[in-house]
């Protein structure tokens, strides 16, 4: 070692730089630490972009579902609720009319409350009919603008239910008017028979 020092040369100067040489051994290239680090960063960035893209896609789908709920489901739910409430109120007026109709057979003073109950029954009937038509229109629009086959099938089911409600309501009102007419004609037995 002193000879090397004395001559001013070292094995490094003589070309023996194998300790710091980055040349491949056996003909294969080996990436440096910096290159490996850049590769890991690139993979992480790629995964981050993929995750962000997936998240945005799912948010877009959720946004579409929320929009469908706000624009289609909620108005349909509101109109069906109104129909239900008005049908129940109409049934109460029907029962009142029956009670006043029975009382009217022995007391003609009950004719006024009897007629008032019929008038209220008819007003509510008009509301139910209008709301049912409005509900059918909303359901038809929802079927036309449904985003998926499942949504379309569900809105078609609602539409068919509303159509059935409309048909049943028309029959109910016709039947109820027969009862009211029988009470007005003092045919109590027939009115009660038809009512039940």
CATH number at residue 130: 1.20.58
- Give the pair of three-digit tokens for residue 115: 């007629």
Give how many domains the chain has, as a whole number.
1
Q: pTM value?
A: 0.67
Range of the domain at 98: 72-195
Residue 23 lies in a domain: no
Low-confidence residues of the chain, pLDDT below 70? Answer: 1-27
- The 10 Å Cβ neighbour count of residue 170 is 14
Residue 79 lies in a domain: yes
In sequence order, the 6+-apart residues with CB closer than 8 A to the CB of 64 are: 147
Residue 161 lies in a domain: yes
pLDDT of residue 22: 54
pLDDT of residue 1: 47
Residue 146 lies in a domain: yes
pLDDT of residue 11: 47
In sequence order, the 6+-apart residues with CB closer than 8 A to the CB of 128 are: 83, 86, 87, 90, 169
pLDDT of residue 27: 66
Residue 40 lies in a domain: no
φ, ψ (nearest 5 deg) of residue 23: -70, 145
Residue 132 lies in a domain: yes
Residue 119 lies in a domain: yes
- Give the pair of three-digit tokens for residue 97: 């009319």
pLDDT of residue 66: 78
pLDDT of residue 25: 58
d(C-alpha 103, C-alpha 95), whole Å: 12
Residue 56 lies in a domain: no
């Amino acid at each position: 070692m002193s000879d090397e020092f004395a001559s001013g040369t070292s094995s490094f100067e003589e070309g023996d730089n194998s300790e710091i040489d980055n040349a491949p051994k056996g003909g294969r290239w080996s990436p440096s630490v910096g290159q490996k680090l850049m590769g890991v960063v690139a993979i992480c960035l790629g995964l981050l972009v993929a995750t962000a893209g997936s998240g945005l896609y799912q948010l877009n789908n959720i946004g579409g579902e929320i929009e469908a709920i706000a624009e289609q489901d909620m108005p349909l739910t509101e109109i069906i609720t109104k129909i239900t409430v008005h049908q129940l109120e109409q049934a109460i007026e029907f029962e009142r009319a029956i009670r006043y109709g029975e009382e009217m057979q022995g007391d003609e003073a009950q004719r006024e409350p009897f007629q008032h109950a019929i008038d209220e029954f008819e007003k509510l009937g008009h509301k139910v009919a209008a709301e049912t038509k409005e509900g059918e229109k909303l359901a038809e629009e929802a079927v036309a603008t449904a985003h998926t086959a499942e949504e379309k099938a569900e809105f078609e089911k609602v539409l068919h239910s509303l159509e059935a409600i409309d048909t049943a309501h028309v029959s109910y009102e016709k039947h109820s008017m027969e009862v009211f007419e029988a009470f007005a004609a003092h045919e109590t037995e027939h009115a009660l028979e038809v009512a039940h």
